[in-house]
Amino acid sequence: MSDRFDVIVAGAGPAGAQCARDIAARGYDVVVLETESEEEFPRQSNKSTAGTFPSMMASFGIPDDVVMQFTDDVVLESPNKHYVQTQPGAVLEFADFKRFLVKDSRENGAEYWFDSRVSRPIMDGDEIAGVRYNGDEEVYADIIIDATGPAAPLAKALGVCNLKRENQAIGIEYEMEGVEIDHPQYADLHDAMMLRLDHELAPGGYSWIFHTGGDTAKVGICYIQNNRHQEYAKAGMTVDDYLEYWLENDPRFKNATKLEGKQHRGSAHIQMPTSLSTDRFMAIGDTVPTIDPLWGEGIHKGMLSGRAAAITVDKCLTSTKPDTSADAMATYDQLWHEQVAPRMRARLTMTELLYLAPNERYDQLMDDLNRIGNGSLSNINSGNKLALRKLIHARDIPLLLGYARERLTKSPRWN
């Protein structure tokens, strides 16, 4: 055992770096193994649209200098209508944000080993004791945390995650200039984050424009590779094709150009996790399905999962007789369901129902949101049942019955 730490974190994304940041601040020896080289980090993993809200910035002490643009509104679009809600937010420069987390956690005492590709766990009987990386290199710890995203080499080997392809969301985004932010046919998107529900552009998903200042914006689409996508998709079209189709047909992009080297693509899974931890081990961030299922927000959720794991580390290692058994590590599971992704199953149901609806129903949804008034989107997003009931119409009954039949005739999709 040439190298031993209190904690190993595999992956230096927002979840892994924040976890290491908290663990190091608590005085534990923690090392983060990251596949990318430090000189290029995060060239390969610069994948996020990076829209977030003040609650995340304040909770995790994120400085303003990693923000591309502070926003005032969230806009929802359907094929023919829109809804605007005042809700302050921030569009981050994701690479700067990730580098900040690494720098700050190092200042707290965390070690980072770049160019270190984790491959599999080192087992001591039935328990993980360390990890192998870069072929036959080894490092050991009392607790190991997998924050590698969907690759999940440790979580998969331990049977902790069961990511399913049919629940995989894939997305692509360009940073662009020359975008007509206030086109007369659409809502004014100055200082706004816009999400568009339109199966013509993103079958079984959504597209977006996030204003980043002046005439620049992050523009992308994302859809879930499920039955709904197959129903609405055009034969032979890829996610890249759909984005190009939107750019060619939306007048807001008539004079827009893509910024060189500013293309981002990524994936995440939208499903209930099977498990989250076991003896001496936790899975955080996109290693388990932590992304918000309804709107795809992942940064805040991932960082919350990292913090929940750090709290669990402190609980398990702080006593005179450290306890890293599965029962002790289950503290993380409890925190995850209470604080990271509360009401996850209900929100997953809302997600399936949302993408089941046809385009005409999206237009009605905009009318309903405008009728209910400001704050309705936040109430719905939090799972407020009264707000949800105000959106249900008699003509939705066939849609709901069809969804129920689909759920009954298939094996559970989120398990």
pLDDT for 369-398, tens place per residue? 888 776 666 666 665 666 666 677 777 777
Same fold across 4-47+95-162+274-340 and 51-56+61-93+166-269:
no
What is the CATH number assigned to the segment(s) 51-56+61-93+166-269? 3.30.9.100
Q: How far apart are CA 199 and CA 178, in angstroms?
A: 25
| pTM over the 0.85 mark | yes
By the 8 A CB rule, do 285 and 14 touch? yes
Round to the nearest angstrom and report the end-to-end CA distance of the chain.
38
Q: How far, in whole angstroms, is CA 183 from its chain's centroid?
A: 30
pLDDT above 50: residue 169: yes
pLDDT of residue 294: 59
Which SS3 state, helix, strand or coil, does residue 140 take? strand
CATH top-level class of 4-47+95-162+274-340: alpha beta
pLDDT of residue 1: 43
- What percentage of residues in the chain have a pLDDT greater than 90? 61
By the 8 A CB rule, do 81 and 367 touch? yes
- The answer to which of 41-50, 77-86, 98-107, 312-321 has the lowest mean pLDDT is 41-50
What does the buried/exposed string (b/e) look like for 255-280 if buried means 16 or more CB atoms within 10 Å of the residue's CB? ebeeeeeeebbbbbbbbbbbbbbbbb
pLDDT of residue 244: 97
Query: Cis omega (within 30 of 0) on the bond before 251?
Result: no
Separation in Å, CA 381 to CA 211, 296, 346, 348, 378: 22, 12, 11, 12, 5
For the segment 246-255, the average pLDDT, to the nearest whole number, is 98
Which carries the bigger pLDDT value, residue 272 or residue 210?
A: 210
pLDDT of residue 45: 66
**pLDDT band, residue 170 (cuts 50/70/90):** confident
Q: Which of 106, 120, 182 is nearest to 148 (CA)?
A: 120
DSSP string across 56-120: HHHHTT--GGGEEEEEEEEEEE-SS-EEEEEEEEEEE-HHHHHHHHHHHHHHHT-EEE-S--EEE
Q: How far apart are CA 356 and CA 264, in angstroms?
A: 27
Q: What share of the chain is helix, strand, coil (3-state, %, to 5)?
A: 40, 25, 35
Continuous segment of H or E residues that includes residue 330: helix 326-335
β-pair partners for 107: none
Which carries the bigger pLDDT value, residue 1 or residue 276?
A: 276
Domains of the chain by residue range = 4-47+95-162+274-340, 51-56+61-93+166-269, 344-409
pLDDT for 26-60, tens place per residue? 999 999 999 999 998 987 766 778 888 888 999 99
pLDDT of residue 204: 86
- The answer to which of 63-77, 229-243, 307-321 has the lowest mean pLDDT is 229-243
pLDDT of residue 413: 43
pLDDT for 70-93, tens place per residue? 999 999 999 999 999 898 999 999
